Chains A and B, each alone.
Chain A
């Protein structure tokens, strides 16, 4: 076990994902994967009086759902890794504070699921914990309010724009047990190809996704066909096309097995989501709700989960900065 190649860690005793739990909002429930989400939220406010509090509440419900399903108490868990899109990661703070689990708050934008699962797996494989929870969330209304315009403003959407998912996904990692195992992780670098258009996240993140995927293949000496599927987080329709093209230029053909959680979660034409779903909750809920279950049924045996994030703040693009991307790869085998 240990660090191999440029950015990869391979585990001799792979941590096991012994359980997973997902929450999803009404629009996500009406998408192609609607039936797979565990906690189907009735609306986006959940009886709270702001979108931000609703997201915190959703996180709390998701982690509680995970603990209930795994028949564990909060006191059984050594660490929890979580993050979200809200300023200063407050959704996770307020959602998790009552569990009293030692908490690592993270920010990786929409790559946070990859980041949290990577760090959690390192702790377990390193022998420093037995049970660790990792996950993330996002909320459409809270994200729009913070990053773009107030909801009622009714600004026009562009073709390359994404729809932030209202959803959450958390997984429970253990040293022992049955289930899909995290066998390797590749941590992404910040990749900047100079994209400045805040309405085209796919283009901002695709280079990072390709960089991490190709590095993973190189470090572990594998080919795309060694995997049943590679799932990126939220490249969307445009981002996937760009990613395939970038990979092709490096001599690697990803198109047969590359899929994207953002493309899978919504029916873009019917639900008018333009380029597809996005947000930390996109890859989290799709993995915890759908992909995990497919692996338990042995329909997928070896996958690479590559959540992708666009690293920016509401003010950074206004200051003329570009939008760099980052992607964290998690190799999961049944």
Chain B
């Protein structure tokens, strides 16, 4: 039962983040790329003021999977490294924390792109 509630919280929060994005896409002239960067920076900022951590604690993957979660990880990494190694930590922390994610994206992205070819849209 506890596991089930965990999944529900994850689903609802993740969905809500996406709905906010969809509403912005429909209501404003912002492009998908611009909204992506806004969400990224929002996640970083919310972590900087300590808010995003609580959302992650509540919803788990529902908060870490969307792109705002990437911003959260970057900001958290930057802050933690500074706590450990001082000012220079600001330059190492973000990428250090997200290194596995970025590396996986590069490696697997490359492999998939190598093995597939773009196809056109299905015809109707």
Contact = CB atoms under 8 A, between A and B. Distances in A.
A and B touch in the complex (CB under 8 A): yes
Interface of A: 26-27, 30, 43-45, 140-141, 150-152, 155-156, 197, 270-272
B25 A151 contact: no
B118 A151 contact: yes
B119 interface: yes
Nearest to A153: B32
B118 to A, nearest CB: 5
B118 A141 contact: yes
A27 B124 contact: yes
7 contacts: A30-B123, A140-B120, A151-B120, A156-B25, A156-B32, A197-B29, A270-B124
A26 B121 CA distance: 11
Contact of A44 (B32, B120, B124): B120
Contacts of B120: 43-45, 140-141, 151
B114 to A, nearest CB: 14
Contacts of A30: 123-124
A152 B25 contact: no
A58 B123 CA distance: 19
Contacts of B118: 141, 150-152
Contacts of B29: 197
Contacts of B123: 26-27, 30
Nearest to B116: A152
Given A26-B123, A152-B118, 17 more contacts: A27-B121, A27-B123, A30-B123, A30-B124, A44-B120, A140-B120, A140-B121, A141-B118, A141-B120, A151-B120, A151-B121, A155-B32, A156-B32, A197-B29, A270-B124, A271-B124, A272-B124
Interface string B13-46: 0000000000001000100100000000000000
Contacts of B124: 27, 30, 270-272
B32 A151 contact: no
A96 to B, nearest CB: 24
B110 to A, nearest CB: 15
B31 to A, nearest CB: 9
Contacts of B32: 155-156
Contacts of A141: 118, 120
A45 B124 CA distance: 17
A197 B28 CA distance: 12
